[in-house]
């Protein structure tokens, strides 16, 4: 992402240069081109930039134009963006998952796992799934209040701040909230470990419960957790460059799906290497990581053709009307990462799914039963 670097404006994070690049270089290069030829438009921008990471024009500049192009194409076709992406009638709505407790650094404790997630895989409809997520989130506040003796803090990603450095304590509290709501056999768990944030390259260790442990120990601990709790997926269990570790984890952890986010970064080359080494079950689809919609869709197609999971995800600090939701519906994925059901842009995503359902009679909630590995092993 290209930033201006001027400390006097937005602490250096302003993007006037990226906007200038759109107006001065990208717009003239694309003027007069066919807006429905997404691949051609994206490759013009890729060639115009000429760097492997889009640092010349800025990935933010190129990505914004890429998304603007497909929105314009959908408008010209008189279709909603998700219908334009789907190219056919919709059959299913993805199941939302909810990031309810956020890890990280807090006064007095460090919770090494970044996101504790719930997923209402047993819901009967999208309306039911949304209700289950919100009801569990609200019940969890009561459970945490009893545990802490006070109301839980709100974390930066809008979930509740982690109350303990022990993942099992948190998973037990979430499980209690799920049980209190009567959702025990309908609600699964998931983790985004984001372990690169807790990895120390010099010692080749990870922080866990106040001490440093090896990658092998982390794999064994994760395997133990999957045998104790029902996880739909675990994301980024190890450092993003630990290729040997991911391969070993995938061999040893068989009761859940292992996904890569920082590990894959929506890169075709990284996904291909991970698939060929049998290191993952899927990846988190974030188009802005790779810079154009064409490249993101190529990575999605590669995964889909090989039976890998591709899970679109909203981003922290995301926007209303996020294109990721149109991709999730248009590509007919099984489930998405939606964040905590608290902030406006996250609520907007839930409303989007319910609107799509209302506008498409006969479109049902996705059935992800075939990929629930904890059911296969029981």
pTM, rounded to two decimals: 0.95
**Nearest CA to 259 among 268, 248, 246?**
246
Query: How does strand 257-260 pair with strand 282-285?
Result: parallel
Is the distance from CB of 233 to CB of 257 less than 8 angstroms? yes
The rounded distance, in Å, linking the Cα atoms of 104 and 107 is: 10
The rounded distance, in Å, linking the Cα atoms of 70 and 25 is: 19
Averaged pLDDT in 10-residue chunks for the chain of 378 residues: 93 96 97 97 97 95 97 97 95 97 94 98 97 98 98 94 98 98 97 97 96 98 98 98 98 98 97 98 95 96 97 80 94 94 90 96 95 85
Instruction: Tell me the torsion sign for CA atoms 118, 124, 129, 133.
Output: negative
Q: What is the pLDDT of residue 181?
A: 98
Is the distance from CB of 204 to CB of 217 less than 8 angstroms? no
The rounded distance, in Å, linking the Cα atoms of 340 and 99 is: 5
- In this structure, what token pair is assigned to residue 338? 């939606």
Is the distance from CB of 277 to CB of 247 less than 8 angstroms? yes
Domain 92-377: give its CATH architecture: Alpha-Beta Barrel (3.20)
Burial class, 345, CB count within 10 angstroms (exposed 0-12 / middle 13-18 / buried 19+):
middle
Range(s) within the chain of domains with CATH label 3.30.390.10: 10-78
Alpha-carbon distances of 96 from 7, 92, 134, rounded to whole Å: 38, 12, 11
Range(s) within the chain of domains with CATH label 3.20.20.120: 92-377
Domain 10-78: give its CATH architecture: 2-Layer Sandwich (3.30)
Q: What is the pLDDT of residue 318?
A: 74
- In this structure, what token pair is assigned to residue 370? 């075939």
End-to-end CA distance of the chain: 45
């Amino acid at each position: 992402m290209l930033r201006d670097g001027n400390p006097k404006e937005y602490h250096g994070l302003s993007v006037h240069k990226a906007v200038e690049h759109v107006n001065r270089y990208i717009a003239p290069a694309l003027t007069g081109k066919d807006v429905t030829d997404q691949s051609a438009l994206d490759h013009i921008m890729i060639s115009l930039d000429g760097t492997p990471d889009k640092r010349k024009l800025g990935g933010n500049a190129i990505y914004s134009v890429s998304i603007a192009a497909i929105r314009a194409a959908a408008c010209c076709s008189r279709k909603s963006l998700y219908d334009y992406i789907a190219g056919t009638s919709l059959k299913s709505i993805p199941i939302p998952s909810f990031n309810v407790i956020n890890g990280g650094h807090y006064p007095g404790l460090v919770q090494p796992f970044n996101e504790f997630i719930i997923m209402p895989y047993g819901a009967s409809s999208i309306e039911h799934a949304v209700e289950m997520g919100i009801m569990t989130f609200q019940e969890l506040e009561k459970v945490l209040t009893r545990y802490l003796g006070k109301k839980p803090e709100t974390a930066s990603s809008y979930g509740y701040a982690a109350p303990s450095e022990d993942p099992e304590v948190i998973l037990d509290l979430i499980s209690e909230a799920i049980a209190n709501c009567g959702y025990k056999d309908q609600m699964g768990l998931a983790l985004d470990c984001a372990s690169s944030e807790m990895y120390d390259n010099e010692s080749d260790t990870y922080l866990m419960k106040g001490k440093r442990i090896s990658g092998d120990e982390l794999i064994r601990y994760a395997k133990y957790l999957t045998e104790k709790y029902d996880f739909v997926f675990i994301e980024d269990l190890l450092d993003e460059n630990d290729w040997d570790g991911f391969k070993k984890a995938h061999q040893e952890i068989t009761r859940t799906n292992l996904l890569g986010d920082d590990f894959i970064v929506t890169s075709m080359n990284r996904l291909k290497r991970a698939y060929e080494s049998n290191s993952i079950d899927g990846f988190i689809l974030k188009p802005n990581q790779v810079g154009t919609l064409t490249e993101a869709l190529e990575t999605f197609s590669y995964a889909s053709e090989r039976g890998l999971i591709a899970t679109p995800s909203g981003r922290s600090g995301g926007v209303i009307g996020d294109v990721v939701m149109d991709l999730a519906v248009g590509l007919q994925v099984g489930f998405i990462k939606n964040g905590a059901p608290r902030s406006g842009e996250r609520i907007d995503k839930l409303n989007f799914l319910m609107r799509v359902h209302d506008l498409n009679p006969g479109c049902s909630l996705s059935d992800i039963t075939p990929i629930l590995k904890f059911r296969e092993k029981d």
